[in-house]
Every structure is written in structure tokens, then in C-alpha cells.
């Protein structure tokens, strides 16, 4: 039996979903009651009725605020999708491409993929507003109401719904001035005597694992600069500070202009997945699906990668 079977949609139940969403968004019953112009007791009774209908606890209550249970987080994601579809259905167009689409993306993806290609998506859907959050961290998708979180990972987040957009190459780069002053490494272990610029993933340095002459090596790196922002690392590399491990799509323009030179071109690295992480596996809003389809085409058109359509 599904949630919808236990709690069929009608005008009353849709109102209950809006009240529950307001409580989660406002972090409390009183603020939600003010927002909805209802009494606190009415809001509390509505949430309790939802919990009885679903047979699970959705919220933990304290005197000052509420926190969302794991079941509540999953139900909130369903609420978001259902309410978006209900709101979209009230307009004359029936494709659901109205309202807000909330997207988060890593800085490199935002600047090199979305930046040049987002306009065509927005032109195709003029009634849809896009809220873009540029961050290296994976956001709290439910709390931040994110529809699609674009992340670069070797593997997706295990417990979260996701869609693989593409697998992307990484390459080592340095500026011509840096290589003239310090010389170019000829072997991965030579990197230990170079100034290295390293990405931080979830606060930890991203290891450099290179395959050279058929041998895969984890290269010990003493990072001179560690940063969780790929745009900053790329800029530091262009400025001649050191050797950086960049995504090929992120470095391409600067390789073509001569601002950067590829280091150890015979070395290969494991491709990294560009994943679209979603709040719910079964309920995906129409704008989110359209956005991911558009993103796959952008990547196929603009990025040298092993493209894997879903």
C-alpha cells in the first residue's frame, strides 16, 4: 500500500501537505501557523493526523523547534513533488514547467557547463525560474529544497537517488612559466618535488592516483595549496603557483589558449562521475527531468568525456 493509498489526495489532504511543508520550512509550529494564518493547535492536529494516516512519525517535537525524522524527510520530498504538480496543473499549460527549479552545482560545473548552456534551457521554458546554488559541498537536499544537486564523485552517495550524467577525465596541468622555472616532471613520483595544488573533498585532500606505463600508483603529495573550489585552483594554476589536477573540461579553454600546459600526458586517471542527485527516486518533477536531459546534451556537446546516456 502506497502513501497515496493511505492518504488519498483531495482538497483537505493537499492543504495538510502544505501545512506539513510549512512546518518543516519554518522549523516550527508557531512560525508555520503565522505563515498559514492558522492556529498553532490546528497546525499540530493536522501534522498528527498525517502521522496517523501514514503510520510513521514525521517530526520530533521540542518546546522550541521541530526536527524531521528520516521518514519525515522522505515524505517532505514527496510533498514537494506533489504540490509542485498540483500548482502547475492550475495553469493553462500542462507540462508542469512553471514555478522554481532549485539546482546546486560544483563551481567548475557551474562556470564551464551550466554558464554557457543554461540560457537555452531557460529560453525553452520561459515560465520556469531557476535558482542556482554554487557549492562544492553536497547540500541537505530536503532541507534546502534542492530539486537537482550536481556533484562530481567517483561513486554516488549510496543512500540517495541519482542519475549518472557522464564520466569525466582529469588531467595534470601547470602554467608555461611554472614549468620553465621548475622543469616538467617525467614520472609521477617527480611530483613530490613540485608545488602541488590539491582539491579538498568533504574537507579531505583528494588523492592523486595515476596510471603510468601500465602501473597504477597513488602518488604521495605534500599539498602547498588545498582548496574546495575548483575555479580557485584553476586560477592558482594559471598564475604559475604550481601543478593542479583539473577536470579536462575545466582546463580546456586554457590549454587551447596556451595559459596552461598538460603535465605527464602519458598518465591516466580514473574518470569521475558527474551525478545528478535527487531528493526522491520515484517522484521526480517534470522540470528536474527536463533539466537533466538538457544537461546530458550540454555535456555531450561541450565536454570530452565518455558519455553514458541513461
Shared-domain flag, residues 174 and 259: yes
The pTM score is 0.68
What is the average per-residue pLDDT within 45-49?
A: 89
Shared-domain flag, residues 175 and 160: no
Contact (CB, 8 A) for 104 and 307: no
Boundary of a domain, candidates 89, 123, 142: 89
Shared-domain flag, residues 291 and 160: yes
Q: Nearest 5 degrees, angle CA 192-CA 194-CA 198? A: 85
| Residue 290, in any domain of the structure | yes
pLDDT tens digit string along 70-83? 888 888 888 887 88
Boundary of a domain, candidates 56, 89, 122: 89
Q: Where residue 237 sits, what CATH number does that domain have?
A: 3.40.190.290
Q: Where residue 157 sits, what CATH number does that domain have?
A: 3.40.190.10
Supply the pLDDT for residue 236.
97
- 60: confidence class by pLDDT, cuts 50, 70, 90: confident
Q: Where residue 65 sits, what CATH number does that domain have?
A: 1.10.10.10
User: What is the separation of C-alpha 310 from the centre of its chain, rounded to a whole number of angstroms?
Assistant: 18
Supply the pLDDT for residue 198.
94
Instruction: Give the separation between CA 290 and CA 295, rounded to whole angstroms.
Output: 9
The boundaries of the domain holding residue 19 are 3-89
Instruction: Give the separation between CA 234 and CA 131, rounded to whole angstroms.
Output: 25
Shared-domain flag, residues 107 and 127: yes
| Residue 184, in any domain of the structure | yes
Other CB atoms within a 10 A radius of the CB of residue 15 amount to: 13
Shared-domain flag, residues 249 and 287: no
Shared-domain flag, residues 174 and 142: no
Supply the pLDDT for residue 307.
39
| Residue 200, in any domain of the structure | yes
Query: What proportion of the chain, given as a percentage, has pLDDT over 90?
Result: 37
Q: Which of 192, 191, 187 is nearest to 266 (CA)?
A: 187
Shared-domain flag, residues 178 and 210: yes
Boundary of a domain, candidates 89, 123, 139: 89
Is pLDDT above 60 for 300?
Answer: yes
Number of structural domains the chain divides into: 3
What is the average per-residue pLDDT within 92-104?
A: 73
Taking the C-alpha atoms of 296, 90, 144 and 127 in order, what is their torsion angle to the nearest 10 degrees?
Answer: 50
Shared-domain flag, residues 127 and 49: no
| Residue 250, in any domain of the structure | yes
Shared-domain flag, residues 138 and 177: no
Shared-domain flag, residues 163 and 282: yes
Across 26-30, 81-85, 240-244, least confident range: 81-85
Shared-domain flag, residues 78 and 113: no
Is pLDDT above 80 for 86?
Answer: no
Supply the pLDDT for residue 90.
55
What is the average per-residue pLDDT within 272-288?
A: 85
| Residue 94, in any domain of the structure | no
Shared-domain flag, residues 193 and 257: yes
Amino acid at each position: 500500500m502506497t502513501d497515496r493509498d493511505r492518504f488519498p489526495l483531495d482538497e483537505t489532504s493537499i492543504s495538510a501537505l502544505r501545512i506539513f511543508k510549512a512546518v518543516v520550512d519554518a522549523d516550527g509550529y508557531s512560525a508555520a501557523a503565522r505563515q498559514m494564518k492558522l492556529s498553532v493547535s490546528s497546525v499540530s492536529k493536522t501534522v498528527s493526523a498525517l502521522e496517523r494516516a501514514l503510520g510513521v512519525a514525521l517530526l520530533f517535537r521540542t518546546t522550541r523547534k521541530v526536527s524531521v525524522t528520516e521518514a519525515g524527510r522522505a515524505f517532505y520530498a514527496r510533498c514537494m513533488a506533489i504540490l509542485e504538480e498540483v500548482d502547475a496543473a492550475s495553469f493553462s499549460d500542462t507540462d508542469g514547467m512553471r514555478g522554481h527549479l532549485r539546482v546546486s552545482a560544483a563551481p567548475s560545473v557551474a562556470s564551464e557547463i551550466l554558464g554557457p548552456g543554461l540560457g537555452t534551457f531557460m529560453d525553452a521554458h520561459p515560465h520556469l525560474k531557476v535558482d542556482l546554488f554554487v557549492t562544492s559541498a553536497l547540500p541537505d537536499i530536503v532541507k534546502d529544497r534542492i530539486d537537482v544537486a550536481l556533484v562530481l564523485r567517483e561513486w554516488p552517495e549510496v543512500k540517495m537517488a541519482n542519475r549518472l550524467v557522464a564520466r569525466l577525465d582529469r588531467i595534470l596541468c601547470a602554467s608555461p612559466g611554472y614549468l620553465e622555472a621548475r622543469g616538467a616532471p617525467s614520472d609521477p613520483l617527480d611530483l613530490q618535488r613540485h608545488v602541488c595544488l590539491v582539491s579538498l573533498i568533504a574537507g579531505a585532500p583528494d588523492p592523486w592516483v595515476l596510471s603510468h606505463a601500465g602501473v597504477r600508483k597513488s602518488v604521495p603529495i605534500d599539498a602547498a595549496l588545498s582548496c574546495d573550489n575548483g575555479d580557485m585552483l584553476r586560477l592558482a594554476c594559471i598564475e604559475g603557483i604550481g601543478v593542479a589536477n583539473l577536470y579536462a573540461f575545466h582546463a580546456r579553454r586554457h590549454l587551447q589558449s596556451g595559459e596552461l600546459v598538460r603535465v605527464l600526458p602519458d598518465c591516466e586517471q580514473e574518470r569521475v562521475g558527474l551525478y545528478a542527485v535527487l531528493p526522491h527516486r520515484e517522484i521526480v518533477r517534470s522540470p528536474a527531468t527536463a533539466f537533466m536531459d538538457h544537461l546530458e546534451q550540454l555535456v555531450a556537446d561541450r565536454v570530452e568525456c565518455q558519455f553514458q546516456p541513461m
